[in-house]
Amino acid sequence: MKPSLSLVLISIASILILLLSPMLGLDAQVNAEIKHRIMTEIRIPRVLFAFVAGSGLALCGMVFQAMFHNPLATPFTLGVASGASLGAALYVSLGLSFSFLGINGTSFAAFSGALLAISIVYGISRFRQGFSTETLLLTGVAISFFFSSLILFTQYLSNVTDSFRILRWLMGELSIVGYGDLMQLLPFVTLCVAIIIWLSRELNLLMAGDDIAISRGVAVKQVRYILFFSTSMCVGAIVALCGPIGFIGMMVPHICRLIVGTDHRWLIPASLMFGGGFLVVCDTIARLIIAPAEIPVGVITTLLGGPFFLWLLIRSRSKTA
């Protein structure tokens, strides 16, 4: 099937998901006025937020896999999610309560933690070997493990209530009301999407290897700088607002490559639409499966991501055999 036709089908499916998802699970006995308020103040903002967050995570995962030539790279590879999670954990554990420019304290602390992780990874990588992909990747993994251990230490020192709040946040959830969180997230994702579309040719050449990219006139280091900071800021904003939602950034780019191929001119819009639709579906499942209670959406994505990860390993092994 041609990539253009595949992209059209993905887009149609994602739009249908966006239209149908808010209506699922509405109680037929609720009067029309309450239904209208539920739709406009809760369901529609939540679905739009899920779509934007899923699109951002999928797109950043696609970029990381291209940058590192690693099919297992995810948006959380460089420790951004761990930094954000540590910031949120410290905010809860210390009993802080504040807001900053309309941003709630947990999200502000989480985004600050993400910025700290980005700064450390960049600083160490730059100091060691001039921003090489190997140093960047290893530094990110080390920072991620270190911050994860600090999160566990923070949980251990917290009381039962705070420990549960931290655990719940770490599972990732999309329980939002109104359009405030969406408006805070949209600038980060929009800017990131614009930069990645602008660098789509460079991403294609990076996939072929640094030597080929340089021979075709690509300023490899500068492109990596731009991609590193734009994707990291986008991931930091997403994690700060809804917690770490795993596996979307790894699964969706792989599925889209199987559908539209490896050309980033098609892969970028396919990942955007598929990633957004996929997270909306996962959130709908999380909302309905034990209604009226909810499961954190990160639990659903991880349940799907675990088997996919094993399938990917088996597929890679069979190709090399």
CA angle 268, 48, 277 (to 5 degrees): 45
pLDDT at 177: 66
Note the pLDDT tens digit of each residue in 179-227: 888 888 999 999 999 999 999 988 888 887 778 888 888 888 888 889 8
Looking only at the bridges linking them, the beta strands covering 99-100 and 103-104 are: antiparallel
| Closest by Cα among 66, 23, 12 to 270 | 12
pLDDT at 66: 87
Residue 106 three-state SS: helix
pLDDT at 138: 83
- What the block records as the tokens of 11 is 């887009």
Percent of the chain at pLDDT exceeding 70: 94
Go through the domains of the chain in sequence order and give each one's CATH number.
3-320 (1.10.3470.10)
pTM over 0.85, yes/no:
yes
Helix axes 44-68, 248-260, angle to 10 degrees: 80
Helix spans in the chain (H): 3-20, 32-38, 44-68, 80-93, 105-129, 133-157, 160-170, 180-198, 200-208, 210-215, 220-242, 248-260, 264-288, 297-320
Percent of the chain at pLDDT exceeding 90: 26
Is a pLDDT exceeding 90 seen at residue 100?
no
Is a pLDDT exceeding 90 seen at residue 273?
yes
Quote the CA–CA distance of 20 and 121 in Å, as a whole number.
Answer: 41
DSSP letter at 216? T
User: Which residues, other chains included, contact 303 with Cβ-Cβ below 8 Å and sequence gap of 6+?
Assistant: none
Quote the CA–CA distance of 86 and 236 in Å, as a whole number.
Answer: 12
